[in-house]
Amino acid sequence: MAEASYQDWLTYIFDREATEDGEAWYWNEPAAIELSPRRAAEYTTRAFGDAALTLRRYSDAQIARGLDYITNTMVSDHGHFLHNGEVPQDERIDAINSMTALFRGVFDPRCRPVLSHIDEPGGGLLNMVCYMWWDVLPLFAEPGGHRPNPIDDSCLSVMRETLALANPACQESALHGLGHWAGAYPMFAAGAIDGFLAANPELRPELRAYALAARSGCVQ
């Protein structure tokens, strides 16, 4: 089904049987929808930007599996549009910026307020997708890279904005990303994390320790 409509694409990815402990649907079938890189960028931006409304009919497990399919390049080729030169830079930036709305509309209200980096009980598939967000996306900061770099700037902006959300799972995700990017952008990471710590003096000790580790780039 080449160049599927937006609604067909949404249905294909999210309208699936999914449980917290069941096998992911995408391991059992070949990809049936193919999109050009620009169409993949367009559909992703639209879905993420309106995620609170678009994804509200799906369960947490369905959303987790669908988001993993979209972003995780170990699962599908969909997310490669983020570094594909055939997609204009402004369209890739729009897709990255739309991630803030996804965090606000889906991860913040739906994720359980537990920490994944210490395997805290109670988290589900959606928590793990949230936590691993900046690990699985094909977006990487390179020390000494050329400046200015609008793609990197957009990623860092999303991390800083999602760090300000109330759910500890979202805060942890942002810290995870900043920790990985601290080597390339030490001043930005330090500033964002210092501001977060100053604004949250009653932060639970485990999350504070993770923030300090992320500040120095010591996260896994």
The mean pLDDT of the chain is 94
Write down the pLDDT at residue 142: 74
Q: Tell me what the mean pLDDT of segment 183-209 comes to.
A: 96
Write down the pLDDT at residue 1: 46
Enter the pTM of the model. 0.95
pLDDT digits (tens, 9 = 90+) for 31-65: 678 889 999 999 999 999 999 999 999 999 999 99
Write down the pLDDT at residue 3: 81
Is the separation of the CB atoms in 180 and 134 below 8 Å? yes
Residue appearing with tokens 């900043």: 178
- pLDDT over 50 (residue 204): yes
- Which among 84, 100, 1, 2 has a CA at the least distance from the CA of 45? 100
Name the token pair of 9.
């694409």
Axis-axis angle for helices 205-215, 168-181 (nearest 10): 20
- pLDDT over 90 (residue 107): yes
pLDDT digits (tens, 9 = 90+) for 125-172: 999 999 999 999 999 887 766 678 999 999 999 999 999 999 999 999
